[in-house]
Structure 1
Amino acid sequence: MGLFDIFKKKENNTYHLTLQLNARLLPIDRGEFFEEPINEALESCKCGTTDGGGTMQQATGEIEFCDIEILLKDNSMENVDKLLQIIDRIGVPKGSFLRADGFEQSVGTLEGLALYLNGTELSEEVYQNCDINYVIEKIEEVLDGSGRFYSYWEGPENTALYFYGISFGEMKQRMTSFLSEYPLCQKCRVEQIA
């Protein structure tokens, strides 16, 4: 049995794979940044389609990872290679993987940064006068193409903003000055998530 003979064969002769993304994305963002572009690329090369996806949350409610279901028209090496090229071209976070029954392959080149803004310990004046959309806009500006904003999570004590790019270290370094100056970013924390 060949490596790619192990994919589950569906009744309609397609082969089912799951792309598990090491990405903290709301379902709408998963669709916009990954599911829709992958589906368009698969359909344009006539080798498959996406078939929905899912989101796994941590006990806190924060997203842990998400996945995309993929149906290839067959399990030929050519189609699997096309899918891997599509994933590489779109860019997914490190720690992601493509899997089927008995098969798993690591994919991903992007690094992830979570910026946790303190939602409970700053003055009411700061919360009233500062704008989280301004934070996102200014950080994307200072990242200057080295990374971008993908999604967010609103928790009971923090709001997390998720950025993915070429290098966690570079993204962190580029935003440090802004984070130290803007009042809403007081008491924030930065974590590498991919």
Structure 2
Amino acid sequence: MNKALLLNKSYPHFVEAKLAEQLTPENRAEFYEKPLREFLESNSFGTVTGGGTLLTPRMFPGEMGIEFVNLDVQLSDLDEALTALRAKLVDLGAPVGSMLAYEDGDQQVESLGNLELLNVFIDNTLDRSFFEAIGFDDLLAKLNGRLEKSNAGKLRSVCQWPRETLIYFGGADADSMYETIKTLTDEVLVLQNARITFQRKDPIRQPIEIRVPFKKN
């Protein structure tokens, strides 16, 4: 029996996990694919057979952002194995807005994730002198250090485009993360005109986006 047929016989149930964060393929593998595959296979619940990225147009013409990263999962059953999959993805840091999709008689789609995200979009069009005032690694260390010291959250990943650079953080409460780094938006010049967006459990809570003002001379 070939490997594909054996896989389908042992793990006949396909589940798609759609994770609502902007991860590179390398980060997706590190954060989710490798630890999830190891967990599922070691417990005979299933395996991860692949992954991908769903792109969406950004606000700037010609730029594409990441709407979801996808994991293709084969499970042994839609009872214990599915319950274990849900719990493990939450444990690995699945953000709010994530989903699981599978067939159980009818097509099923269920919400997943507890981690809230704070997204900081740096304005890449600022004068070069702002970027020369602090190195990028130093900026990451300053922001992440403030969050980790207060146990409010920690760095998740970074994405770059011509007009903006995204630095985003995960934690229990996006608003608490913002309050923790708020003073840095006044102190660090390169954070001027940054867009800060919130990915919360409560999707109607305001504000959804904050624009850091330019510092007055």
Q: Which TM bucket (shorter chain)?
A: 0.7 to 0.9
- How far is the alpha carbon of 1:179 from its aligned partner? 2.1
Question: Helix, strand or coil for the counterpart of 1:106?
Answer: strand
Corresponding residue number in structure 2 for 1:166: 172
Question: Helix, strand or coil for the counterpart of 1:25?
Answer: coil
Corresponding residue number in structure 1 for 2:27: 29
Q: Percent identity?
A: 26
- How far is the alpha carbon of 1:43 from its aligned partner? 2.0
The amino acid across from 2:40 in the alignment is: L
Map 1:83-102; keep pairs closer than 5 Å: 83-101=85-103, 102=107
Map 1:142-153; keep pairs closer than 5 Å: 142-144=146-148, 145-153=151-159
Q: What is the root-mean-square deviation in Å for CA atoms of aligned residues?
A: 1.8
Corresponding residue number in structure 2 for 1:120: 125
Q: CA contact under 8 A between 2:95 and 2:117: conserved in structure 1?
A: yes
- How far is the alpha carbon of 1:18 from its aligned partner? 0.6
Q: CA separation of 1:161/1:13 partners in 2, compared to 1, >3 Å: closer, same or farther? A: closer
Deviations for 1:33-64, whole angstroms, at most 9, x for unmatched residues?
A: 12222112112212111112111122231211
Runs of at least 4 residues off by over 6 Å: none
The reply on whether 1:39 has 2:37 as its aligned counterpart is yes
Q: CA contact under 8 A between 1:10 and 1:16: conserved in structure 2?
A: no
The reply on whether 1:131 has 2:135 as its aligned counterpart is yes
Map 1:154-193; keep pairs closer than 5 Å: 154-193=160-199
TM-score by length of 2: 0.78
The reply on whether 1:71 has 2:74 as its aligned counterpart is yes
CA distance in 1, matches of 2:94, 2:182: 24
Unaligned runs of 5+ in 1: 1-8
CA distance in 1, matches of 2:91, 2:132: 41
Corresponding residue number in structure 2 for 1:5: none
Q: CA contact under 8 A between 2:54 and 2:66: conserved in structure 1?
A: yes
Corresponding residue number in structure 2 for 1:105: 110
TM-score by length of 1: 0.87
* Structure showing greater relative contact order (alpha-carbon pairs closer than 8 Å, 6 or more residues apart): 1
User: What is the aligned length?
Assistant: 184
The amino acid across from 1:107 in the alignment is: L
CA distance in 2, matches of 1:54, 1:134: 31
Deviations for 1:59-111, whole angstroms, at most 9, x for unmatched residues?
A: 23121111111111x22411111212212322310111111131112110011
Q: CA contact under 8 A between 2:11 and 2:46: conserved in structure 1?
A: no
- How far is the alpha carbon of 1:129 from its aligned partner? 3.3
- How far is the alpha carbon of 1:146 from its aligned partner? 2.2
Deviations for 1:135-180, whole angstroms, at most 9, x for unmatched residues?
A: 2111111112322212222112111112121111011111111122
CA distance in 2, matches of 1:118, 1:76: 45
